[in-house]
Every structure is written in C-alpha cells, then in structure tokens.
Structure 1
Amino acid sequence: MLYDLRLKIAYIYAAAAGSSRHVLRVTPRDIPGRQKTIASTLLIAPDPAERSVFVDSFGNQARDVLLRGEHRRFEISVRARIKRTSADVSPAPGPQIEDLQEALRRYRGLGPDSPHHFTARSRLVRPGRDTTEFALRILPDGIGVAEAVRRIGEALHAEMIYDPAATEVDTPHETAFAARRGVCQDFSHIMIACLRGVGIPASYVSGLLRTLPPPGAERLAGADAMHAWVRAWCGPGIGWIEYDPTNATDVGDQHIVVAYGRDYCDVSPAKGVLRTAGGQRSSQSVDLVEADPARPPL
C-alpha cells in the first residue's frame, strides 16, 4: 500500500513561554521489507533556533529542537509518503511460554530490538497481580507464545470498552483496567502488562491507522488521530509480531509505525521543557489516505 500522510499537532499555552526545548518523534520509521518513507517534510513553528536529528536507543528517528523568544503556540506539521507492506504473520505457534525463558537466556545482544529491553517494569507499565491473573486465566497449558499474544489481545478487546472520556494521557493503566474503559494507549499498556506478567517481552508501538468512514458517509479530513498497539517477542524462530488490541487484529498494511518503546513515555510525539506559567491545551489532526502513484508525493 502507498499512503500520503498529513499530521498536525499544536500546543497553545495560557501564558507566553520564554523559551522551550522539545524532543519530537513524529515521522514514520523505516522497517526493512515492511515500511519505507519515500518522501517527508517536517515544519515547526516558531522556527527553531537550533535543531538536530538523532536515532534513539530503540532505533527511532528523533529530533531535538530549541525555541528562543516568547511564543504562545508550538506547532508541528508532517507530510510524508509511505510504502507499507503486510507483515508475514507466521501460523506457527512458536515455543511454549514456559520455554521462552530459556530462549531469552540464550539471547545475546542489547541492540534496539533486543527482547531484554521489554521484560521488566517500565515507567508507565507495571505488571501486577490483576493483569497477570487475567492473562493466566485465559491461557491453557502448553499454548504457543504467538497464540498466547493473540488470545490476550482478543480477551482485552472483549473485556474493555473504548471510551475517550474515561481516561487522560497520564491515567495509570491499573485505573483503566479496573474500570475496563480507555483508549488505544490504555489498551496497549494493559496488554503489555499482561504479556510481561507471564514472561513474554512486549513493547509499545506509536503509529497511525488508516480508517474508513461508515458506508455512505464522507471521510472527514483531519478527523483521525495517532494510534497505538503492541509488539511481542515470540522467540528466535518467529521474532517480533504486532497486535492491535483496540481493534482485535494482527497489525497489517493499514498500520504505519512511527516509533517503538517500552511504553508511551519512550515514544510520545513531543515532550520537553519550557519556561511559562499556567496551563496548556493541545489539538491533533491526522489524514492517512491511499496515495495516487501518478501524483508526486507531498
């Protein structure tokens, strides 16, 4: 699939910021054999006094920007054309969960894709009794790891209600799980806690999802938002697979990956520090549409 992306994120401050510094992770990453950015542009307003590009610990492209001078608004705009192919989802069950720990012990390496980064508690994911017991209740003895990932994702989808009013960006996943309500960030954090609780390395994926309007309705420009799902390590034979618990589906060519991390804190589109007083509000618009290959990108 060939997609054109338009993404805009804006932050409006109650009082002018004297200066600010931000780290941005907003451009789709390249994944060999699966995803390739053909062209992209990133516009930032106000124009940064300093900017640099680096690759973080998990292989994501990040930008460090410094804004000097008073500003009440900080805006990020991305345009990109991306080629996306479906992942090869192996039907093989892979090792059983009880054998996965031996595979982890044998795994050597601490590169960006090492499963060792994604086994323990992280800042926003804390495997606990409730999520671990939930996962154990639905997993029969001898189940393969890949099938266990899907079973947990399907069970969460059936148990949880998607409710944008139920949580905020900083709501603990334990609160969302207790209420059985939340958004894609909550679904993903809860699923990661379930997987890590039973010994399956799992990471958070920040990305975009192509959506279609209901039959007979027109597509609303800018109505989409950034999305999140889960990546799980299923042993050396299968490697990493990705699952979307919000939609109860294996990740395919309608999902565009932006960044991988231990949780949302590692992959948030923009985070930083600024000198100001009072609160702020933000807005976000996303258009991810099938591209016309006869038209030039951007």
Structure 2
Amino acid sequence: MLYDVSLTIEYNYGAASDRTRNILRLLPSDIPGVQVVRQRMLTIFPRPQERRDGRDFFGNEVSMVAWHRPIDALKLQLTARIERFEPAPLFDLSPPLDELHHELLMVPSLAPEAPHHFIAASPHVALSDAITEYARDCFGQGVTALGAVEAVGRALHRDMSFDPEATDVDTPPEEAFEKRHGVCQDFAHVMIAALRGIGIPAGYVSGFLRTFPPPGQPRLEGADAMHAWVRAWVGKQLGWIEFDPTNDQFAGTDYITIGHGRDYGDVAPVRGALRTSGGHETSQAVDVIPVEEMSA
C-alpha cells in the first residue's frame, strides 16, 4: 500500500523564547520487509540556525535543531510518500512462554535490535506487581509467547477505555491501568509493562495509523493523529511482532512506523529546552492518504 503522509505540529509561545533547542524524531526511514520511504521532507519554520540529522542508538532518524535568537512560534511540517508492505501470514512458531527465557539466553548480541534492551524497566515504564498479575490472568497453562502477547493485548482493549482527557504525556502506566482509561500511549505503556512482567521483551512503536471515515461521510483532512503500539520479541523463529492494544489487532498495512524504542521517551516526536517567561499552545494535524484515493 502506497501512502502520502503529512504531519503538521505548531507551537505558539506566550512570550518569545530565547535559545531554543529541540530533538526531533519525525522522519520515517526504510524498514526491510516492512516499509520503504519513497520521498520525505521535514520543513521547519522559522529556519533553525543549527540543524544536524543522524540516527540514535535504535536506528531512528533524529534531527537536532537550535535557534540563538528569540522565536514566538514554531511550525514543523513533514511530507512523505511511503510504501507499506503486506505482512507475511503470522503462524505461531513461538515457544511456550515458560521456555522463552531459554531462547533469550541464547541471544549473545547487544545490538540495537537485541531483545535484552527491552526486558527490564525503562524510564517511562516501571514494572508493576498489579499489572504483572493482570497479565498472568489473561491466559492459561501452556500458552505460547505469541499467544500471551495476543491475549494481553486483547484483554487491555476489552478492559481499558480510550479517553484523551484522562491522562497526559507524563502519566505513568500504573496510574492509567488503575483508572482503566487513557490514550494509545497509555495502552502501549501498560501492555509493555505487562509483557515485561511475564518475561516477554517489549518496546514502543511510534508512527501513523490510517483511519477511515464513517460510512457515507467524506474523509476529513487533518483528522488522523500520531499513534503508538507495541512490539514484542517472541523467540528466535518469529523475532519481533507488533500488536496494537488500542485497536485490538496486529499491525498491518494501515500502520506506518516513525521509530521504536523502550518507551515513549525514546521516540518522542519533539523534545527540547527553551528559555521563556510564558506558556505555549500546541496543535497537531496528520493526514495518511492512500495514493490511489488521491488519483481517483
């Protein structure tokens, strides 16, 4: 599936900010067998006085930008054309869950894709006895690693409600789990904590999800949003698989990846520091449009 993607993030500062410095993770990149980026451009207004593009430890594209003069607004605009491939049929070749740790011990690498980076607590995802107990109650004896991932994801979709007013970007997963409310970031963080608690390496994926308008209604421009889901390592045969607990499904052709890491902190689209005496307002608009729709 070929998509044209656009993302606009705008900040308006209550007072002009001085010496602003940001780290941006907004550029998609090729993922073998998953997606190919045909075109991409990240435009920044006002133009930064410093910009360096590179990759972080996990291979995500990173743009480091800075301004040495006051700015009172910031606009980040991504445009890209991305081809997302149909995933191969998912046959359960994963080991029983209680044998997964043996396969984990057989992985000698500490390269970025190694599962060892994703088994312990991380800055935004602490291990929780309550979440671990919940995860263990989601399946029976003899479950496979893949079966456990699916069971936990489907249970969270059933038991948690999507509520954009219930949490914010800094809400810990224990709080979101206790409330049983949250957004896709919360669903992902709770599922990561649950999987790590039962011995499954798990991480966070940031990107875009193609959405569909109600039947008979036109698609609204800018109605999509950035999305988050989970990747889990389920053994040497299958490696990493991806599940979206917010929507109760494995990631497929409607998903476009920007980056992945241990939790949201590793893939936050905009991070930085500024010096200002006022607050700020921000807005975001995303469009994920199949190319055939544009030519129809």
Query: Any conservation in 2 of the 1:89–1:241 contact (CA below 8 Å)?
Result: no
Q: Which residue of structure 2 aligns with residue 96 of structure 1?
A: 96
Q: Separation in 2 of the partners of 1:294 and 1:280?
A: 35
Q: CA deviation at 1:204?
A: 0.2
- Alignment of 1:206 with 2:175, yes or no, is no
Q: CA deviation at 1:88?
A: 2.0
Query: 1:294 and 1:127, CA in 2 relative to 1: closer, same or farther beyond 3 A?
Result: closer
Q: Separation in 1 of the partners of 2:266 and 2:197?
A: 20
Q: CA deviation at 1:294?
A: 9.4
SS at match of 2:68: strand
Q: Which residue of structure 1 aligns with residue 126 of structure 2?
A: 126
Q: Separation in 1 of the partners of 2:33 and 2:81?
A: 16
Q: Separation in 1 of the partners of 2:93 and 2:143?
A: 8
Q: Separation in 2 of the partners of 1:294 and 1:184?
A: 28
The letter for the 1-side match of 2:163 is: D
- Structure 2 counterparts to residues 156-195 of structure 1, below 5 A: 156-195=156-195
The letter for the 2-side match of 1:195 is: L
Q: Separation in 1 of the partners of 2:23 and 2:55?
A: 11
Q: Separation in 2 of the partners of 1:95 and 1:281?
A: 48
Q: Separation in 2 of the partners of 1:29 and 1:196?
A: 27
Q: CA deviation at 1:217?
A: 1.1
Q: Separation in 1 of the partners of 2:94 and 2:33?
A: 22
Q: Separation in 2 of the partners of 1:13 and 1:111?
A: 40
Q: Separation in 1 of the partners of 2:141 and 2:116?
A: 24
Q: CA deviation at 1:188?
A: 0.2
Q: CA deviation at 1:43?
A: 0.3
Query: 1:221 and 1:35, CA in 2 relative to 1: closer, same or farther beyond 3 A?
Result: same
Q: Which residue of structure 2 aligns with residue 77 of structure 1?
A: 77
Query: Any conservation in 1 of the 2:210–2:289 contact (CA below 8 Å)?
Result: yes
Q: CA deviation at 1:115?
A: 0.4
Q: Which runs of 5+ in 1 are unaligned?
A: none
Q: CA deviation at 1:136?
A: 0.5
- Alignment of 1:107 with 2:107, yes or no, is yes
The letter for the 2-side match of 1:54 is: G
The letter for the 1-side match of 2:118 is: F
Q: CA deviation at 1:93?
A: 4.3
Q: Which residue of structure 1 aligns with residue 227 of structure 2?
A: 227
Q: Separation in 1 of the partners of 2:175 and 2:114?
A: 30
- Structure 2 counterparts to residues 237-276 of structure 1, below 5 A: 237-276=237-276
The letter for the 1-side match of 2:149 is: V
Q: Separation in 1 of the partners of 2:283 and 2:177?
A: 26
The letter for the 2-side match of 1:141 is: Q
Query: Any conservation in 1 of the 2:25–2:269 contact (CA below 8 Å)?
Result: yes
Superimposed CA distance per residue, residues 39-73 of structure 1 (whole angstroms, 9 cap, x where no aligned partner) = 01110011011111111111111111111211111
- Alignment of 1:39 with 2:45, yes or no, is no
Q: Separation in 2 of the partners of 1:255 and 1:109?
A: 28
Superimposed CA distance per residue, residues 182-228 of structure 1 (whole angstroms, 9 cap, x where no aligned partner) = 00000000000000000000000001000010001111101111000
Deviates more, 1:96-105 or 1:202-211: 96-105
The letter for the 2-side match of 1:164 is: P
Q: Separation in 1 of the partners of 2:208 and 2:294?
A: 24
Superimposed CA distance per residue, residues 160-192 of structure 1 (whole angstroms, 9 cap, x where no aligned partner) = 011111111111111111110000000000000
Q: Which residue of structure 2 aligns with residue 150 of structure 1?
A: 150
Deviates more, 1:3-12 or 1:86-95: 86-95
Query: 1:293 and 1:247, CA in 2 relative to 1: closer, same or farther beyond 3 A?
Result: closer
The letter for the 1-side match of 2:159 is: E
Q: Separation in 1 of the partners of 2:189 and 2:242?
A: 14
Q: CA deviation at 1:75?
A: 1.2
Query: Any conservation in 2 of the 1:5–1:79 contact (CA below 8 Å)?
Result: yes
Q: CA deviation at 1:79?
A: 0.4
Percent identity of equivalent pairs? 47
The letter for the 2-side match of 1:16 is: A
Superimposed CA distance per residue, residues 101-158 of structure 1 (whole angstroms, 9 cap, x where no aligned partner) = 1111110111111101100101110121110000001121111101110000000000
TM-score with structure 2 setting the length: 0.97
Superimposed CA distance per residue, residues 11-45 of structure 1 (whole angstroms, 9 cap, x where no aligned partner) = 12111101211111111221112101000111001
Q: CA deviation at 1:266?
A: 0.5
Query: Any conservation in 1 of the 2:93–2:237 contact (CA below 8 Å)?
Result: no
